[in-house]
Amino acid sequence: MTDYAGLFRLDGRRAVVVGAGSGIGRESALALAAHGAVVVCADRDADAAAATAQHAGGGAAAHQVDVLDIDSVRSLAEAFPDTHALVVTPATNVRKRIVDYTHDEFDRVVSLNLRASFDLVRAFGPTMVARGAGSIIGFSSIRGTVVEPGQGVYAATKAGLVQLLRTAAAELGPAGVRVNAVAPGVVETPLTEQIKANPQWYQAYAAKSAFGRWAQPSELAGAVVFLASDASTFVTGAVINVDGGWTAIDGRFDPPA
């Protein structure tokens, strides 16, 4: 008989959260730890990772990683071969029209948003396959589905990430490894500081949500726990939108009837 009360529990399972020093990564690490996971808080900022680990408690550890350095990524995977759940949150954006983009800016966005996830899947996937279990959770965005001027390269990476993770789901699924994506809407994180500084821009984004507000990083953590836990054992290749209705609602006009 299924233990429904324990479906979301992660007791004794190791979860590696990349980007755990701040924002969505930090809240994901805290939520996983609260559900019993043994969390590794990985981040380029060692002090931020350590602060999250201390707050998480429960034997949480901090690990410095540079996801743009393949040797650093491999070292992280080798240090924790028993990883049950891998959560990948780092991303960056350069808001520019396509014709104004430089090659260096393009490479910077693609390297962090897409290539880093590619390397992390390649590093952690084989050991999960060997054990016959595991969950890989990446972060796409509403920009993987809907776009706006100035978001071309960022949107391309987020759409590309979805297809990368879906392919990984197809390739790793026969061994029992699940791969999924979470697609946030607008979230109050360091990445969105530029928008928050402009009241008109900030409010326009808030109005696009069915709730008339932005998300807090903690509101993404539930989807992460779900995808890491046995509550989602038949979920793979999926994109879970946590966007306050952004991609579901037209939003241009509220008719009288």
User: Known catalytic residues?
Assistant: 154
How far apart (Å, rounded) are the C-alpha atoms in residues 89 and 171? Answer: 22
Q: Which residue do the tokens 């969390």 mark?
A: 39
Give yes or no for a contact between 189 and 27, defined as CB atoms under 8 angstroms apart. Answer: no
> 105-133 burial by CB neighbour count: b if 16+ within 10 A, else e?
ebebbbbbbbbbbbbbbebbbebbbeeee
Q: Do strands 177-184 and 14-18 pair parallel, antiparallel, or not at all (unpaired)?
A: unpaired
Instruction: Report the 10 Å Cβ neighbour count for 167.
Output: 13
How far apart (Å, rounded) are the C-alpha atoms in residues 140 and 244? Answer: 15
- Write the secondary structure of 115-154 as one string of H (helix), E (strand) and C (coil): HHHHHHHHHHHHHHHHHCCEEEEEECCHHHCCCCCCCHHH
How far apart (Å, rounded) are the C-alpha atoms in residues 41 and 60? Answer: 7
- Helix (H), strand (E) at residue 103: helix 103-110
Give yes or no for a contact between 239 and 162, defined as CB atoms under 8 angstroms apart. Answer: yes
- Helix (H), strand (E) at residue 226: helix 221-228
